[in-house]
Amino acid sequence: MGTRHNNFAPVLRLIAAVLSLSATASAIGVNYGTLGNNLPTPATVAKFLKTKTIIESVKLFNADPDILRAFAGSGLKVTVTIPNGLIPSLTKDDEARGWINDHIAPFYPKTKINRVLVGNEIMATLDDNLISNLVPAMKAVHRALVKAGIDDVQVTTAHAMGILKVSEPPSAGQFWPGHDVAVYAPMLQFLRETDAPFMVNPYSYFGYSPNYAPSIADYALFRPNRGVHDSHTNITYYNMFDAMMDAVYSAIKAMGYADVDIVVAETGWPSAGDPNQPACTVDNAISFNGNLLKAVTSGKGTPLMPNRKFETYIFSLFNENLKPGQSNERNWGLFRPDFSAVYDVGILKNKQSRPAPRPAPVAGKKSWCVPKASASDQALQKKSWCVPKASASDQALQANINYVCSQKGMDCRPIQAGGPCFGPNNVRSHASFVMNSFYRLNGARPFNCDFAGTGVVANSDPSKCFIFFSSLGLFVNT
């Protein structure tokens, strides 16, 4: 790091960065892989994304000229990736200029190329030649872009979570010693100077195991759980994604670069797998990706990065039938090659499922829920309630209350003093209300009533105060 002559410069830079990050709108992108022999043409993909989905950007694992040509004029942002093997040669300015002249200049600006990734998950290769040349190559590619008159294309790289020696608790996040000074310090300085993000691949899926307790599976899938406590900060984390993001942030902050933005380069969940891969289901993919989208676009941020949205690239666009390995590798896609949705978590335009507006309870009056006249017969036949198990402890139920009431969009005012469901004033009664509200608001799927094994679905209404915040009900006041 060079000598700073203005003592206020770091403070001003940090303030500007924080203001910028807090104001930045989230962008939902997708990783566009091409390992399939039945995939649609790039031109039809560009048209589909533009007209049928809310996706604003794509990330490529190469710089495929056919795709870059097809996306011209679409308005969709495109991130391209330089193959890992080219990194050593691209440290030379003439080689870097040649690559930019061949792979970026012919398509820019008609194709909205916004970012060039120099390799993918380089640190995970354990290849000293690639690792030592990574930052010099990034700098050379940036110089080549500037030389070509392209000054609005960022240069960075994407990292696996293995870059961290310590990730738990999140506040203790730390890069591997040696790499922190030799690689990450100059990389973060470069990213700061060029206003480019640090990109990371936080896959909760790889932190999940069917051998773990159900609460860990719920923690990975954004489902109700008791949480994981960080004793250093006294923060309880209720999903693995937030914990991973904060661990990366802590490692970056420890290096003195808290102002560098973080972008989610890859994350997702497979919808199918082999018999020995029970976590790979459509329900799990819906739970993870659906809640992920809510988390990164809500503006809530994470415990250590509050009030922020995160640019996020879901893995992946299509199920790719030529990917090697077990079945799950071929089932990460949001869509099949014919553009039919494997499942929809709000990616498709005009098909986004949103909760109905919640009428506020009337103070001093009893309220309960009755079916709307417009509710479907099928929905009425499937009325159900989420209730605490008799065996659930007050401690576990209080954890459920804390989790649900911390979620964006949940209204826990009815169980507060003066609310229509405050009485009886005990943990079990209040937990009954919030567990059922969460269950109904999230589609009344059985897994949304698990609550780490403390909830059960009932078919009869156990209490007048089971107010449904859903399209199946309305308030009746007496």
Residue 85 near residue 119 (C-beta atoms within 8 A): no
Residue 277 near residue 328 (C-beta atoms within 8 A): yes
From the candidates 266, 311, 320, 329, which is the catalytic residue? Answer: 266
From the candidates 95, 121, 193, 320, which is the catalytic residue? Answer: 121
Q: Where are the alpha helices (DSSP H) in 82-159?
A: 93-103, 128-147
Examine the residue annotation and report whether 329 is marked as an active-site residue of this protein.
Answer: no
Q: Which amino acid is at 129?
A: N
DSSP state, 119? E
Question: What DSSP string describes 43-76?
Answer: HHHHHHHHHHB---EEEESS--HHHHHHTTTS--
Output helix, strand, coil percentages for the chain, rounded to the nearest 5.
40, 15, 45
User: Which residues are bridge partners to 160 per DSSP?
Assistant: 201
d(Cα 244, Cα 236) in Å, to the nearest integer? 13
DSSP state, 358? P
Examine the residue annotation and report whether 121 is marked as an active-site residue of this protein.
Answer: yes
Angle in degrees, CA 327, 330, 331, rounded to 5: 90
Measuring CA to CA, which residue among 4, 5, 44, 27 is closest to residue 339? 44
- The residue whose two tokens read 């009746």 is 476
Q: Calculate the alpha carbon distances from 179 to 123, 186, 204, 251 in Å.
A: 9, 10, 24, 12
Residue 49 near residue 55 (C-beta atoms within 8 A): yes
Q: Which amino acid is at 21?
A: L
d(Cα 24, Cα 94) in Å, to the nearest integer? 35
Show the tokens assigned to 286: 């819906």
Q: Cα-Cα-Cα-Cα dihedral of 178, 184, 189, 193, to 10°? A: 160
Active site residues: 121, 266
